[in-house]
Structure 1
Amino acid sequence: MNINDAYLWLKSISGVTNNTIEQIELNNIDIKELINFSNSDIHNLKNINTNIKENIVKYKSLTYLDKIKENLYKNSIEYISICDEKYPSHLKNIHNAPKILFYKGNLNLLKHNINLAMVGSRKCTPYGINCAKSISKKLSDIGINIISGLAIGIDTYSHIGCLEGKSKTIAVIGSPIDNVLPKRNIKLSEKILDNGGLILSEYNVGEAVYPSNYVYRNRILSGISDGVIVIEAAKKSGALITVDYALEQGKNVFSVPGNINSCMSEGCHKIIKEGATLVHNVEDILNEYNISEYSYIENSKKYDNIKLNEKSIEILEIIKDNGILNIDEICDNTKMEVKYVNSILNELVLKDLLIEINNQVYSLNIYINTISGGVSFNGKDIGHSGISCKS
């Protein structure tokens, strides 16, 4: 049994939480071997609730694991454990990081240069709706992915704004992926996936949904982001829980000010007083990462005269849509032979349009480097407006 399956099996047993798994691991046990333990060995585990031990014994079966995997396959849901190299690095080191994640869509988005979370009230005002949509779209057009929680209100309009832009949006939900909640946002979740986005959850198919799920999912929402933007929030808004997680995780926090007479502005004004960056326009966000919207556009103009053939443009567009791809994935997407793809990739790297992150793994040359403790940005637009095709 591999480690991903071991965590999948264990986390699917009633009563087993992240903390339970950590306690089991403190017994100096290889999780991959636990399913082969005798019943008495499992009952001898220290610091584990007796009922949980009995449940582990009850479901100590590869047949049970196969049924779990079959349910995931039927629902086209994939999974990944904290030990997998594809597990988002931002998330791995947070407190109580989820041992296993379930997802649909493009997991590579979590390796994107900048992903910003946008949160706010479910009972949003027209002002909040306008701010969420416009800020999200502007950031999306610049190349920043938007993360939110798929809830009604600000979350919904943050996703919609990003979909109207050029980038991808990521939804972190508090229910299993086969049971998207709220039901009214099922179509929105489908649009997110159709647009190349990502739906992420720590809950397996068929798991019960509790109100506390939405509190716990906020640590993931902030954990996979590079910063959190609060659009509209009351004094005791759930969005402020995400802010607390973000501060604990060392993330930037931004807040959009509102009407001083509106209770929906009290939470935003509170965190501004406590040090959150006030957002008057998108530049206030970009400045925190030393990104200039103007320089982004200006840099893209340098590449207006680069002439590429249709196959080169096809490869650039596929990498643009997916964020990061290895050469085998590029071949699968383009149906081209590896020798031909390799030649094109080398050419695009030489033209400074692609960067090779590691051995035959490629990304667009839109990158962030830490320099002297700060952050610098260099962007190049590879859209059809910026590249001409040889006739």
Structure 2
Amino acid sequence: MERYFIALQELGAKNELLLKLITEYDSSFISNLFEENSDIFLSNIEWLPYKFLFEDRKKVNAALTKADEILRINAEQEIHTALYYTINYPKNLMRIDNPPAIIYYKGANPNDGFDKAIASIGTRNPTQFGFNSINYLIPQWVNEGFSIISGLALGVDRLSHIACLAEDGKTIAVFAHGLDKVYPASNKKLAEQILSCGGTLLSEYPVGTEPTKFRFVRRNRLIVGLAKVTVAMECEEKSGSMRSINFAQKQNCPIFCPQPGNNPPEAQSGLRYILDNKIGQEIKSGTDYENVILSAGYKIEKPKMKVSYIKEQYLRALIIGAENENIIKIVLQKIGLEYTSDCTCIIGLNNYLLDYIQKTNYSIDAIIKTFIDTIISFNPTKKES
């Protein structure tokens, strides 16, 4: 049945029409639409306005061929197809206005352990404020059994996925293109880590669909729709993140953001706008995680995490995120350590730094700051957004 719905999408049928077909018509009616039989339109008058979609048999056959090709590639790349109302369609998305009639996903079933979910959104160019917000708060939410939803873009999205994985959590990355590619390409390894850790890559677009600006805007509504709460970690007032906030408002999804102070820099002006206009609630500090959980409709179940442990997880997340070994070399040089063979793996480097902190009383805060400063200032030869 997926074949016919994908073909209808290729023919240009609107999403509302596909939803109507799924919820109000049986499978025989849908298959009959593609047969050269005009009687079906005469016996179903409301379908006469759509008769033109099926009059050009060349286009119809081309759409069916394209649908078959999409499903073939899906099978090769282990991409699942979920129609609205079917058992593997994300339940959380059913709450939003005009949900996608077709969802594609790779990895874990989006209904398996993702009901308790928080959307983490924000800038592609985070400052230390954004790094701190993400790496203090997310481990505490993951500890309470929450998954993290974000968009696998650079910046806040990437940091959010990594912070979740560092705490052994599950995360969903929502794409603005087909699942046959990763954009930006620099996040390909992270996408693989998400899958290997029981997470999910998800999109409303079939394979072969390229990333374009309007698709990123539409993608944001799915990030919010999959979650019970939306948290803006750091963003400007005039930014794409504010579109996500608008989606959250329309969907009556609780909104939170860290307190940026009374006169924040431009990088946090969106947070100030959210709070000043009473769009969302404030998160007062890095350990003020409870209200987000309560607003999602759940109770606090675990004891508070020790700040020392959170900082260790923060450091681990920074190590995981520093894929370029030059970043590691620069950080080690700045704090007076040698780069050894042990530094080439995450566990080895993490233990190396923790041992150094324990033996010398070197501040873990100072090492974290050194990492952040190095990551922010590091300029690879090709920068992707």
Which letter does structure 2 place at the counterpart of 1:266?
A: S
The residue aligned with 2:355 is: none
Superposition map of 1:283-298 within 5 A: 283-289=290-296, 293=300, 295-297=301-303
Calculate the TM-score normalised by the size of structure 1.
0.67
Q: Is the 1:88–1:110 Cα contact (8 Å) retained in structure 2? A: no
Superposition map of 1:218-229 within 5 A: 218-229=220-231
The residue aligned with 2:30 is: 31
Shift of 1:147: 0.4
Unpaired runs of at least 5, structure 2? 305-385
Q: Distance in 1 between matches of 2:255 and 2:178?
A: 28
The residue aligned with 2:18 is: 21
Superposition map of 1:164-179 within 5 A: 164-179=166-181
Shift of 1:283: 2.4
Q: Residues 61-104 of structure 1: CA distance to partner in whole angstroms, max 9, x if unpaired?
A: 76554332111112221110003122122212321210000110
Shift of 1:24: 7.4
The residue aligned with 1:73 is: 75
Q: Distance in 1 between matches of 2:55 and 2:139?
A: 49
Calculate the TM-score normalised by the size of structure 2.
0.68
Superposition map of 1:1-391 within 5 A: 2=1, 4-11=2-9, 13=10, 15-19=12-16, 21=18, 30-38=29-37, 46-48=48-50, 54=56, 57-59=59-61, 64-109=66-111, 112-258=114-260, 260-275=263-278, 276-280=280-284, 281-289=288-296, 293=300, 295-297=301-303
The residue aligned with 1:327 is: none
The residue aligned with 1:344 is: none
Q: Distance in 2 between matches of 1:237 and 1:118?
A: 15
**Larger deviation, residues 94-103 vs 14-23:** 14-23
Shift of 1:137: 1.9
Shift of 1:107: 1.4
Match of 2:78, SS state, is coil
Q: Distance in 2 between matches of 1:86 and 1:278?
A: 35
Q: Distance in 2 between matches of 1:23 and 1:287?
A: 35
Q: RMSD across aligned C-alpha pairs, in angstroms? A: 3.0
Which letter does structure 2 place at the counterpart of 1:195?
A: C
Q: Distance in 2 between matches of 1:273 and 1:238?
A: 19
Q: Is the 1:148–1:171 Cα contact (8 Å) retained in structure 2? A: yes
Shift of 1:159: 0.5
Match of 1:107, SS state, is coil
Which letter does structure 1 place at the counterpart of 2:266?
A: C
Q: Residues 100-133 of structure 1: CA distance to partner in whole angstroms, max 9, x if unpaired?
A: 0011011144653410100001121122122112
**Larger deviation, residues 138-147 vs 82-91:** 82-91
Q: Is the 2:254–2:296 Cα contact (8 Å) retained in structure 1? A: no
The residue aligned with 1:374 is: none
Q: Distance in 2 between matches of 1:290 and 1:252?
A: 10
Which letter does structure 2 place at the counterpart of 1:21?
A: L
Residue-pair matches, total: 294
- Point out which structure has higher relative CO (alpha carbons under 8 A, 6+ apart): 2
Q: Is the 1:119–1:228 Cα contact (8 Å) retained in structure 2? A: yes
State percent identity of aligned pairs: 26
Q: Between Structure 1 and Structure 2, which shows a larger proportion of strand residues? A: 1
Q: Is the 1:121–1:234 Cα contact (8 Å) retained in structure 2? A: yes
Q: Is the 1:132–1:157 Cα contact (8 Å) retained in structure 2? A: yes
Match of 1:163, SS state, is helix
Q: Between Structure 1 and Structure 2, which shows a larger proportion of helix residues? A: 2
Q: Is the 1:20–1:48 Cα contact (8 Å) retained in structure 2? A: no
